[in-house]
């Protein structure tokens, strides 16, 4: 049996939009605290914070797309990103949000991967100096990479950094489709178990049939789990491991709206008919 107590989806920060999902048993939400194309964020309104507390929701704040934690330390975007995530963390704590998910961003043409790692390690060290010991986790999301090599946030780059930090506040957000597009094989159980040891958030999304492993294509928004390239056994196996006693991972159905996320949730519940019983706590 697969017990899912932390299944959720991506939604707007307006608590009135959450009602249909909460009525279906969803207790995990991923939201934006600002425009994803800006460095600005703000805390949630009092009504939304009250709902989070009343319903005991696990809420994830997803960072904006304009930041980079791997640019040179003297780079203007890097400096803005430091300030951005300091403010986002403060607004998250004020909003009773305990998890932040971020893309590490891209590097410059003349940067090496080693230099990028130093920048990211410096960022995480500074973040921990400000927020270490507080009830919040900073999760680095796997990205699909890019053919020009400027987007380097794949598992091969992120995993050893998170492992070496060995800090409960620095974790991974494993996006299934992103990691597949960046070359990761979702069928390797040994790799998956090691990966889940450093994972706090999992983006559960389908892999379209036309996306090849290592293609760097980010194409999961509209494809449902029922239409995915992999059979149900692959996904259900990952989720069974993720929700075992050893792991307590937030699982996000990353869709454009509740209608699509709800279809994925119904697909997961239907796995019982395919031999994998699912219980939503």
Q: What pLDDT tens digit does each residue of the chain (281 aa) get?
A: 566 667 889 999 999 999 999 998 888 999 999 999 999 999 999 999 999 999 999 999 999 999 999 999 999 999 999 999 999 999 999 999 999 999 999 999 999 999 999 999 999 999 999 999 999 999 999 999 998 889 999 999 999 999 999 999 999 999 999 999 999 999 887 788 889 999 999 999 999 999 999 999 998 877 888 899 988 888 888 887 777 756 678 989 988 789 889 999 888 888 766 666 665 55
Rounded Cα gap, residues 240 and 95, in angstroms: 31
- Whole-structure pTM value: 0.95
- Whose CA is closest to 31, among 17, 6, 10, 57? 10
Q: What ranges do the domains of the chain cover?
A: 2-280
**Which CATH superfamily does the domain covering 2-280 fall into?**
Divalent-metal-dependent TIM barrel enzymes (3.20.20.150)
Asked if 181 contacts 214 with a C-beta cutoff of 8 angstroms, the reply is yes
- Whole-angstrom distance, CA of residue 36 vs CA of residue 281: 31
Alpha helices in the chain (DSSP H): 19-23, 46-55, 76-94, 113-131, 155-165, 176-181, 189-196, 232-242, 258-269
The pair of three-digit structure tokens given for residue 182, joined into one six-digit string: 């960046």
Question: b/e map of 47-58 (b: 16 or more CB within 10 Å)?
Answer: ebbebbeeeebb
């Amino acid at each position: 049996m697969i017990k899912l107590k932390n299944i959720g989806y991506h939604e707007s920060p307006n608590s009135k939009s959450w009602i249909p999902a909460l009525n279906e048993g969803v207790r995990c939400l991923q939201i934006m605290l600002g425009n994803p194309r800006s460095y600005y964020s703000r805390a949630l309104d009092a009504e939304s914070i009250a709902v989070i507390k009343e319903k005991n929701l696990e809420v994830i704040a997803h960072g904006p797309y304009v930041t980079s934690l791997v640019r040179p330390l003297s780079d203007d975007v890097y400096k803005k990103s430091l300030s951005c995530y300091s403010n986002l963390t403060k607004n998250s704590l004020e909003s009773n949000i305990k998890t932040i998910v971020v893309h590490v961003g891209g590097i410059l043409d003349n940067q090496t991967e080693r230099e990028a790692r130093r920048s990211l390690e410096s960022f995480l060290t500074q973040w921990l100096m400000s927020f270490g010991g507080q009830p919040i986790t900073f999760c680095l999301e796997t990205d699909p990479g890019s053919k020009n090599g400027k987007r380097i946030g794949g598992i091969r780059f992120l995993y050893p950094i998170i492992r070496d930090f060995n800090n409960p506040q620095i974790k991974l957000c494993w996006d299934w489709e992103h990691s597949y597009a960046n070359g990761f094989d979702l069928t390797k159980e040994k790799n998956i178990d090691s990966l889940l040891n450093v994972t706090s958030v999992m983006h559960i999304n389908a892999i379209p049939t036309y996306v090849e492993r290592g293609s760097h294509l980010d194409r999961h928004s509209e494809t449902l789990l029922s239409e995915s390239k992999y059979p149900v056994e692959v996904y259900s196996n990952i989720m069974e491991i993720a929700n075992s006693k050893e792991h307590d991972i937030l699982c996000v159905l990353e869709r454009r709206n509740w209608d699509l996320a709800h279809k994925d949730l119904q697909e997961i519940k239907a796995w019982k008919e395919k031999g994998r019983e699912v219980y939503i706590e």
